Amino acid sequence: MTADFLQQITTHGAAVNLSSRAKFRLTGADRVRYLNGQVTNDMRRVKPDESLYACVTDVKGRIAADVFVHSHHEELLLDAEPDLREPLGMRLERYIVADDVELTDVSEEWQLWHLWGDAGTLARFESAPYAEDRPHYLLHSTRFGTPGLDIWLPVAAYAPTFESLPILTEADLETWRILQKIPRWPHELNAETFPPEAGLETKAMDFAKGCYIGQEVLSRIKTTGKMPREMLAFESDTPLNAGDEIWQEKLVGKVTSVAMHPTTGATIGLAMIRQGTAPDGLHVGGSSGPLLKQR
């Protein structure tokens, strides 16, 4: 990504093809109550024109998946990272016992696109003349850190035309994600991470919704404010790699994601470090290694 390209997509927006993501449909009279017992956010607030972000957690409160959910008529539709297709499907199936719920993998049936831009751009796409005889879903979403739209279209439908908006490559999207300080599976979000460690307490959690798997542990973290780690956004004048150790006299964390800043050329990234670690005096690889600066 170049500095000019960053300026362009910051000012005017961009589009992303997310069609490889795992997609599931939940139907049945108990679908909302069932899913509410599986995820960290309140599924009673799911809307047909907005994607609601949530985490699926295990019994210890750690992240098993992160999902975006919306409703359509008598069904709930979820999307998640491509690598979560099999494990998330198995997890959701496992807890359907006496519930009137049916889970269907619809990953191959839908295209999924996301775009963001200024208010005029979003309004233009909201009123776009999608084919009347083909189902489609247009959802408000901030999945990449700025107000945008998710577009669900059948695989057989035409791909959207984004006019002047560029379609980002995976590498460009990764740089944008890190600039926006957005955690991603499996880098920051994984089976070792509690949602609050990744800053998801206000984005993906509802502490008044009632019980769900892992709720007791996460409520305790909310009450005490204590958790093992927290996410740090950093920059460095030295090239770094995911997995590099972070030290402050002793080992305090690891780098999880890195990219090059398109304007400054510095290394930018995300890391998980021990909670309460002062952001000053952080070094990579040892106490005398390259210095990190909080971003």
For 26-66, write each residue's pLDDT tens digit: 999 999 999 999 999 999 999 999 999 999 999 999 999 99
Kindly report the pTM of this predicted structure.
Answer: 0.94
Residues 190-218 pLDDT 10s:
999 999 999 999 999 999 999 999 999 99
Q: 259 is written with which tokens?
A: 């990219």
Preceding omega of 186 cis (within 30 degrees of 0): yes
pLDDT number for residue 130:
56
- In the chain, domain spans: 3-178, 228-295
Q: 249 is written with which tokens?
A: 């006299």
End-to-end CA distance of the chain: 19
115 and 13 Cβ atoms separated by less than 8 Å:
yes
Question: Mean pLDDT over residues 223-251, rounded?
Answer: 96
The three-class DSSP label of residue 234 is: strand
Distance CA 66, CA 76 (A): 15
54 and 66 Cβ atoms separated by less than 8 Å:
yes
The residue among 84, 85, 80 whose CA lies nearest residue 68 is 80
pLDDT number for residue 126:
77
Instruction: Look at domain 228-295 and name its CATH class.
Output: mainly beta
113 and 168 Cβ atoms separated by less than 8 Å:
no
Residues 105-149 pLDDT 10s:
999 999 999 999 988 888 887 776 554 544 577 899 999 999 999
pLDDT number for residue 133:
45
Q: In the structure, what pLDDT confidence band is assigned to residue 159 with cuts at 50, 70 and 90?
A: confident
Question: Which CATH architecture is the domain 3-178 placed in?
Answer: 2-Layer Sandwich (3.30)
